[in-house]
């Protein structure tokens, strides 16, 4: 067979195979096509049926939800709904210990499917426990309502502060709800009960969850006056109850007292008021106390100079110690002969003989605590025995006014009979923190922080000479620490009375007005000045520093020095130095 014939035979065979494949595909589509179409239609129909079934289930759920909502809905009439809801909020607030309660109607809205009503509680007073109880019971109640807005004001950051509560509560009524004259189901007591009784008899009432079959009974809450009771079982005579639940107090109730159902939402029946205890313990309205820091130190130990034979007594104190480590115990180390200290009281005593040589005698005072015996604190003591010497003399103002946040300066003057002695100034014990005295000039400075507690503080200033027999003298000045009333006192107005202009100075802190006329004295904070001019736009006043101008509306602290006093006339008195200010020229404004 030639190659040409073989090629023709192979080509004919391949063409036959292709023809069979094409014809088979067309026959398959012609025979199976309708079957596949039917199968796809059946699958689509099944999916559609499943969708319709899911929609039907959602519809049934929605219907059931709607019926459930109708059971807890407010009355359909918006006026009745708002009145009853307002009464219920008032009752709940009183039951939770609110005072100064002002509950007023707010907005109303009527839609096709529902209506809403709102009531406002304005600036009622309670504490954190009362607010917690109110929010708990409000959330427990099986009503269609919510708190849409609330503000809480607190005046104090300590302890259990009083809170001022303002809130808006909104309730909803579903269309189609049956009319009812009461917000919640009610009945009454048939007989009086005592606070200790655990059974009661109630008149027959509708809508209370009391099934005919006792086996289906579930406990529920009721309210009589301000007491909440939990009905735990049915008895032959009536109901068995737990008294004074949810933070209320059991009380006596008269016959015919109203029993009101307090329905609890099904998903909140396992909650109780104790679960809110963390909110009360960690109050967001109280600043927590910072951790206590202890800085132990020895006080009362100071170097002394005595005459021969003079007895020395003083008390050493332990300050800033941790009481958990035990009481402080005192001892002396490397002490001169005869020096003693009481281990418990810290009373130091030394009675040197009159014939003891002059010179320096030292000791080291140590302090330990029982639980920290290795952490001893020490303070060196030096007692100098010297021949008698006359004391220096010190002059200090008896009192002065100090303003919080502003520098106070005064000077202690001292003199000594021996003109060659150098005098050294120092502070006595117990001086306020930050107060200093210049050891050479006696200048006393202090800028108390604004957080410092106002009041009267006695400060002791000492002066010592450096003679062979050093002596000391001291004087006290009483510092009256005040708020900056000069910054709080405004020139609030100029008022004419009987032809005389009066400048009205109003203290913003006390809201008191002090009217002054020409020649009268303005005394505020450390400022004391005579009114020398009163115009309808400003006043001028005069003190040792010169003449000052104060514009209407400005505070006394904003006054401006327009005419400084002449140097020879501006004799400064200790404690009354004028503050440094910018001098401005007088203007007509």
Q: Which pLDDT score is estimated for 28?
A: 63
Confidence check: pLDDT of 577 > 50: no
> Rounded to an integer, what distance in angstroms lies between the CA atom of residue 91 and that of residue 74?
16
3-state SS of 114-129 is EEEEEEEEEEEEECHH
CA distances from 519 to 63, 160, 569, 573, 589 (A): 87, 51, 20, 22, 22
CA angle 81, 84, 89 (to 5 degrees): 115
The 10s digit of each residue's pLDDT in 398-456 is 999 999 999 999 999 999 877 778 999 999 988 999 999 999 999 999 999 989 999 99
> Rounded to an integer, what distance in angstroms lies between the CA atom of residue 352 and that of residue 20?
140
pTM score of the predicted model: 0.41
The 10s digit of each residue's pLDDT in 162-198 is 888 899 999 888 777 777 778 888 899 999 999 999 9
CA distances from 185 to 144, 206, 223, 258, 260 (A): 15, 7, 11, 10, 6
**Could you write out the DSSP letters of every residue in 406-429?**
S-EEEE-EEE-SSTTPPPEEEE-T
Any residues with CB less than 8 A from the CB of 132 and at least 6 apart, and which? 273, 276, 279, 280
Neighbours of 251 (CB within 10 A): 14
- pLDDT (average), residues 466-470: 78
Q: Which pLDDT score is estimated for 142?
A: 83
Phi, psi angle pair for 331, to nearest 5°: -155, 165
Confidence of residue 583 (pLDDT cuts 50, 70, 90): very low
Q: Which pLDDT score is estimated for 20?
A: 57
Confidence of residue 573 (pLDDT cuts 50, 70, 90): very low
Confidence check: pLDDT of 529 > 60: yes
> Rounded to an integer, what distance in angstroms lies between the CA atom of residue 112 and that of residue 135?
31
Q: Which pLDDT score is estimated for 18?
A: 66
Low-confidence winner among 279-283, 301-305, 380-384 (lowest mean pLDDT): 279-283
Residue 341 structure tokens: 């200290």
Q: Chain-wide mean pLDDT for the chain?
A: 84
Confidence of residue 349 (pLDDT cuts 50, 70, 90): very high
HSE at residue 237, side-chain half, CA atoms within 13 A, is 9
The 10s digit of each residue's pLDDT in 221-271 is 989 998 999 999 888 888 899 998 888 899 999 999 999 888 888 777 778
Three-state secondary-structure class, residue 341 = strand
CA distances from 312 to 306, 331, 351, 355, 451 (A): 8, 16, 6, 16, 39
Q: Which pLDDT score is estimated for 23?
A: 59
Residue 219 structure tokens: 């406990």
> Rounded to an integer, what distance in angstroms lies between the CA atom of residue 335 and that of residue 358?
16
> Rounded to an integer, what distance in angstroms lies between the CA atom of residue 171 and that of residue 275?
26
> Rounded to an integer, what distance in angstroms lies between the CA atom of residue 388 and that of residue 306?
8
Confidence check: pLDDT of 318 > 50: yes
Any residues with CB less than 8 A from the CB of 178 and at least 6 apart, and which? 70, 76
Edge-to-edge strands of the sheet including 424-427?
399-403, 472-482, 455-464, 424-427
Q: Which pLDDT score is estimated for 81?
A: 84
Phi, psi angle pair for 108, to nearest 5°: -135, 145
CA angle 266, 270, 274 (to 5 degrees): 135
Highest mean pLDDT among 1-5, 474-478, 575-579: 474-478
Q: Which pLDDT score is estimated for 135?
A: 86
Classify the phi-psi angles of 442: left when phi > 0, otherwise alpha if psi is within -120 to 50, otherwise beta: left
Q: Which pLDDT score is estimated for 391?
A: 87
Residue 43 structure tokens: 């699958």
Please count the helices (runs of H) and the strands (runs of E) in the chain.
Answer: 5, 36
Residue 454 structure tokens: 């106002």
Confidence check: pLDDT of 548 > 60: yes
Q: With contact defined as beta carbons under 8 Å apart, do 338 and 352 qualify? A: yes
């Amino acid at each position: 067979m030639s190659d040409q014939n073989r090629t023709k035979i192979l080509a004919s065979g391949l063409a036959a195979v292709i023809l069979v494949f094409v014809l088979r595909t067309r026959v398959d589509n012609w025979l199976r096509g309708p079957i596949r179409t039917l199968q796809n239609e059946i699958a689509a129909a099944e999916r559609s049926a499943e969708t319709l079934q899911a929609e039907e289930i959602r519809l049934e759920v929605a219907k059931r939800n709607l019926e459930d909502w109708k059971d807890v809905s407010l009355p359909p009439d918006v006026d009745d709904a708002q009145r009853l809801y307002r009464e219920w909020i008032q009752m709940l607030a009183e039951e939770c210990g609110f005072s100064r309660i002002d509950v007023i109607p707010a907005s109303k809205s009527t839609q096709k499917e529902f209506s809403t009503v709102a009531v406002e509680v304005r600036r009622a007073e309670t504490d954190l426990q009362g607010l917690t109880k109110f929010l708990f019971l409000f959330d427990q109640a099986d009503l269609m309502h919510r708190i849409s807005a609330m503000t809480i004001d607190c005046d104090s950051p300590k302890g259990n502060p009083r809170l001022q509560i303002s809130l808006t509560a909104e309730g909803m009524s579903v269309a189609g709800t049956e009319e009812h004259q009461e917000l919640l189901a009610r009945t009454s007591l048939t007989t009086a009960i005592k606070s200790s009784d655990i059974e009661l008899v109630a008149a027959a009432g509708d809508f209370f969850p009391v099934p005919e079959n006792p086996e289906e009974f579930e406990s529920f809450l009721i309210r009589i006056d301000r007491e909440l009771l939990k009905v735990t079982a049915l008895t032959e005579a009536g109901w068995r109850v737990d008294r004074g639940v949810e933070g209320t107090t059991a009380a006596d109730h008269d016959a015919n007292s109203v029993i009101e159902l307090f329905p609890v939402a099904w998903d909140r029946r396992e909650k109780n008021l104790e679960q809110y205890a963390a909110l009360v313990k960690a109050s967001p309205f109280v600043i927590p106390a910072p951790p206590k820091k202890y800085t132990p130190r020895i006080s009362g130990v100071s170097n002394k100079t005595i005459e021969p034979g003079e007895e020395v007594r003083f008390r050493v104190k332990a300050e800033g110690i941790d009481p958990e480590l035990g009481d402080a115990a005192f001892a002396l180390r490397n002490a001169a002969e005869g020096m003693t200290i009481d281990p418990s009281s810290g009373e130091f005593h030394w009675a040197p003989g009159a014939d003891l040589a002059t010179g320096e005698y030292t000791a080291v005072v140590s302090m330990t605590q029982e639980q920290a015996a290795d952490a001893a604190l020490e303070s060196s003591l030096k007692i100098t025995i010297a021949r008698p010497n006359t004391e220096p003399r010190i002059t200090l103002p008896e009192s002065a006014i100090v303003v919080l946040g502003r520098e106070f300066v005064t000077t202690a003057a001292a003199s000594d009979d021996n003109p060659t002695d150098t005098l050294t100034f120092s502070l006595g014990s117990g001086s306020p923190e930050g107060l200093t005295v210049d050891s050479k000039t006696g200048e006393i400075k202090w800028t108390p922080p604004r957080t410092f507690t106002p009041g009267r503080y006695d400060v002791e200033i000492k002066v010592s000479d450096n003679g062979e027999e050093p002596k000391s003298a001291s004087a006290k000045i009483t510092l009256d620490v005040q708020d900056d009333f000069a910054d709080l006192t405004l020139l609030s107005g100029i008022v004419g009375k009987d032809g005389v202009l009066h400048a009205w100075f109003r203290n913003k802190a006390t809201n008191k007005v002090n009217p002054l006329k020409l020649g009268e004295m303005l005394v505020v904070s450390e400022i004391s000045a005579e009114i020398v001019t009163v115009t309808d736009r400003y006043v001028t006043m005069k003190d040792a520093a010169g003449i000052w101008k104060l514009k209407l509306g400005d505070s006394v602290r904003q006054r401006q020095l327009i005419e400084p006093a002449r140097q020879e006339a501006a004799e400064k008195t200790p404690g009354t130095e004028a503050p440094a200010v910018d001098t401005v020229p007088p203007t007509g404004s």
